[in-house]
Structure 1
Amino acid sequence: MSFFNKPTTSAVGSTTATEADLANDVIVANPPEDTISDLSFSPQADFFVASSWDNKVRIYEVTPTGQTEGRALYEHEAPVLSARWTSDGTKVISGGCDKQVKLYDVQAGQAQQIGVHDSPVRAVRFVECGPSNTPVVVSGSWDKTLRYWDTRQAQPISTIQLPERVYAMDSSQKLLVVGTAERHICVIDLNNPQQISKQSMSPLKWQTRSITCYLEGNGYALGSIEGRCAFQYINDVEQSKSGFTFKCHRQTETKGGRTENHIYTLNSIAVHPGYGTFATAGSDGCFHFWDKDARHRLKGFPSLKAPITASAFNRTGNIYAVALGYDWSKGHQYSTQPSQNMIRLHPVKDDEIKQKKARR
């Protein structure tokens, strides 16, 4: 059972935001020229990276005044589907439809290919494997493989065969979770990264779209194209006690006495680095903040009038970035007008994202 769909209020006010709550959002100058596929903040500094269908990866700095400046740009030979930082914040890894995995050295301003797949690369992450925390790049592809790369050699140090094409992937601590086509979910313990430790079917009935791991590394949030989210745990006992699914990114509209239900894709899930609460963002142009432990929506924001294709918190959690652009969820017939691609930085307030104390 979920309490997320019930209208609630908290001690600090309504859980429903207004346009005034978006008034201080910053619009990023010089955004990508096509749909933004991924957003990621540096874990060490006020920089973020945006990958795009225009074949480019852009790095921006958030200045002390809260504005943004473009700092670097490098290219792939086809649309880029994923871009993330290394843990020391000195490099960016990326992968895309040119089948390449690239590493960009921010200080040197140089990009190099460190890996290649047989089909487009859907997701990349920087992880630490084994008891010695060996740093490696992991990439998931539509060629139905997961590959680990040492940045100093051309061949993968390990390859895992997956049941289907990779659609989403994330990691936290020693947990790596991969969602593939046909709703397969593969869990990998990075202490033993060369094999799948647990495989299951998604509890959601439709295609997997997004995955984000909990900060504790004991579970993950899963989103689908059907406007649903699932909070899952690796341990079966914990899953039985605390795991659940709920509806989100849905709207009800009444026309001529008839009620129409609109269901939107959940494109992005992000976890707050301090509180462990979550943000979901979808093709309805809305984002919402959630407390999974209390099964409570903390704040829901009005539509930004375009699909949100990617989102991310910065390292301190006081900025939530969302990318706007066409996500093809309604098919090609809605793509006749050039999409206005945009990145917005929302200054996050504690009373929007922090867990609320239970009222007696």
Structure 2
Amino acid sequence: MTAVPQVAGQELESPPSDGISNLRFSNHSDHLLVSSWDKSVRLYDASANLLRGEFMHGGPVLDCCFHDDSSGFSASADNTVRRLVFNYGREDILGRHDAPVRCIEYSYATGQVITGSWDKTLKCWDPRGANGPDRSLVGTYTQPERVYSLSLVGNRLVVATAGRHVNVYDLRNMSQPEQRRESSLKYQTRCVRCYPNGTGYALSSVEGRVAMEFFDVSEAGQAKKYAFKCHRKSEAGRDIVYPVNAIAFHPIHALALQILLNSYGTFATGVVMVMSMCGMETTRKDLLKYPTSVAALSFSRDGRLLAVASSYTYEEGDKPHEPDGIFVRSVNEVEVKPKPKAYPNPTT
């Protein structure tokens, strides 16, 4: 194994003062949106290392997403869903849940904002509707348990909840899930991310495992799925396991490549999994060291940059830990491009 280098990437100035819940790159620029338990949403220019705006909420902010470079949305523990207008520093309440709002996504396919809450519901909002709480509500959909993670690809929405439930929806017909599944992992789900080519999704758990799932329910389709262990440390003969908090797919080489970073950056690695349609080959490209837990990840729209939230996620309980930070790392194409003779073109 190669030696661990120093922290990979430039640290952004003016980070949040409490835990970082998520970060997202814009689909149109190198702007980065960051949500935090300090009740803020921050907008950065990641390339210039510049804080461009800050929005304060009534409670911890658990998720955020972009609409475009002029506006975005946030999900708060104060039960509100908010629209953020960057140029004017303004925020509007789009609507509310009955409990903290854990997840938020914007669907470019339908023009809707989708939220998942600990009130065991999924809600869809039309941000083009009349201003004011709940006036933009399109529909409410009961879930089997608290919503932990959402992911979109095209018209497909994957909802991961407590109790290891996974519901797959078609956004064009939300009357009921097109698939109801149970996670193939034995422990609590931390993150779900759809494959950019639309064929399935990756699911991670608190027990340091990742499952690669496929939407095709045929015998041949389900034969492709698999799961693997990652982010473990052996100490005095004991296997110490850390949760996988974040999954990010490279936007250019996404079909053939996924990058998974462990949740506890002080000892472990950035693991690169090179994946073809018929199997998986694992190689360690490099080791990425961060001051504390890796809580969230996001690639820039062109895959040149990887943003990493280093923020302790309490997997070892309440203890002293390093301050939170946001690191932006340049991604070399050599690190992420699969061997052309071994793997198919990811755009096919």
Q: Is the 8 A contact 1:284 1:303 kept in 2?
A: no
Separation in 1, partners of 2:173, 2:197: 18
Which runs of structure 2 are paired with 1:93-108 in the superposition (5 Å)? Answer: 93-108=73-88
Q: 1:249 aligns with which of 201, 206, 231?
A: 231
Alignment of 1:214-225 (within 5 A): 214-225=195-206
Quote the Cα distance in structure 1 between the aligned partners of 2:103 and 2:72: 13
Confirm or deny: 8 A CA contact 2:19 2:37 kept in the other structure: yes
User: C-alpha separation between the residues in 1 aligned to 2:241 and 2:289?
Assistant: 14
Q: What displacement does 1:312 show?
A: 0.6
Which of residues 123, 129, 145 is equivalent to 1:164? 145
- Cα deviation for residue 357 of structure 1 reads 4.1
Q: Which amino acid aligns with 2:83?
A: L
Q: Deviations over 1:25-56 (max 9, x none)?
A: 11111111011000100000110011000000
* Counterpart for residue 11 of structure 1: none
Provide the C-alpha distance between the structure 2 equivalents of 1:134 and 1:223, rounded to a whole number of angstroms. 27
Residue 120 of structure 2 aligns with an amino acid whose one-letter code is K
SS class of match (2:223)? helix
Aligned to 1:83: 64
2:287 aligns with 301
Distance (Å, rounded) in 1 between the aligned partners of 2:317 and 2:56: 27
Correspondence for 1:35? 19
Q: Which amino acid aligns with 2:334?
A: D
Q: 1:101–1:186: structure 2 CA closer, same or farther, 3 Å change rule?
A: same
Give CA-to-partner distance per residue, 1:111-131, whole Å, 9 cap, x none: 111010000000000014xxx
CA distance in structure 2 between the aligned counterparts of 1:267 and 1:319, rounded to whole angstroms: 19
Residue 185 of structure 1 and its aligned partner are, at CA, apart by: 0.4
Unaligned runs of 5+ in 1: 1-15
Matches within 5 A, 1:335-346: 337=320, 339-346=322-329
Do 1:174 and 1:217's aligned partners in 2 also have CA atoms closer than 8 Å? no
Which residue in 2 is equivalent to 1:185?
166
Note the aligned Cα RMSD (angstroms). Answer: 1.9
The answer on whether the counterparts of 1:283 and 1:308 sit within 8 Å (CA) in structure 2 is yes
Q: Cα deviations across residues 49-89 of structure 1 (Å, max 9, x unaligned)?
A: 110000000000023xxx41000000111111100111x33
Provide the secondary structure at the position in 1 that maps to 2:198.
Answer: coil
The 5 A counterparts of 1:55-70 are 55-63=39-47, 67-70=48-51
Superposition TM-score, scaled by structure 1 size = 0.87
Q: How does 1:1-360 map to 2 (within 5 A)?
A: 18-20=3-5, 25-63=9-47, 67-86=48-67, 88-128=68-108, 133-151=109-127, 152-153=129-130, 154-155=133-134, 156-237=137-218, 239-253=221-235, 255=236, 259-276=237-254, 277-285=257-265, 286-293=269-276, 294-298=279-283, 299-332=285-318, 334=319, 337=320, 339-357=322-340
Question: 2:312 corresponds to which letter in structure 1?
Answer: Y
Q: 1:107 to 1:359 in 2, by over 3 A?
A: closer
**Paired residues of 2:7 and 2:289 also in contact (CA < 8 A):** no
Distance in 2 separating the partners of 1:339 and 1:78: 23
- Unaligned 5+ residue runs, structure 2? 344-348
CA distance in 2, matches of 1:108, 1:83: 18
Equivalent-residue separation in structure 2 for 1:244 and 1:169 (angstroms)? 21
Alpha-carbon shift at residue 304 of structure 1 (Å)? 1.9
> Quick check: 1:309–1:326 contact (8 Å CA) kept in 2?
yes
Secondary structure in structure 2 of the residue aligned to 1:215: coil
Give, in angstroms, the shift of residue 330 of structure 1.
1.4
Contact residue 79 and residue 101 of structure 2 kept, 8 A: yes
The range that moved more, 208-217 or 296-305, is 296-305
SS in structure 1 of the partner of residue 222 of structure 2: helix
Secondary structure, aligned partner of 2:160: strand
Q: Deviations over 1:290-315 (max 9, x none)?
A: 22325123424243241101111010
Q: Could you tell me how far apart the structure 1 residues matched to 2:216 and 2:206 are?
A: 26
Q: Does the CA-based 8 Å contact 2:11-2:327 persist in structure 1?
A: yes
Contact 1:175–1:218, Cα closer than 8 Å, also in 2:
no
Shift of 1:284: 2.2
Shift of 1:331: 1.6
How many angstroms apart in 2 are the aligned matches of 1:219 and 1:266?
A: 18
Taking the aligned partners of 1:23 and 1:165, their CA distance within structure 2 comes to 35
Please give the alpha-carbon distance, in whole angstroms, between the structure 2 residues aligned to 1:219 and 1:89.
Answer: 29
Aligned-residue identity in percent? 33
* Native 8 Å contact 2:293 2:311 kept in 1: yes
CA distance in 2 between partners of 1:77 and 1:34 (Å): 15
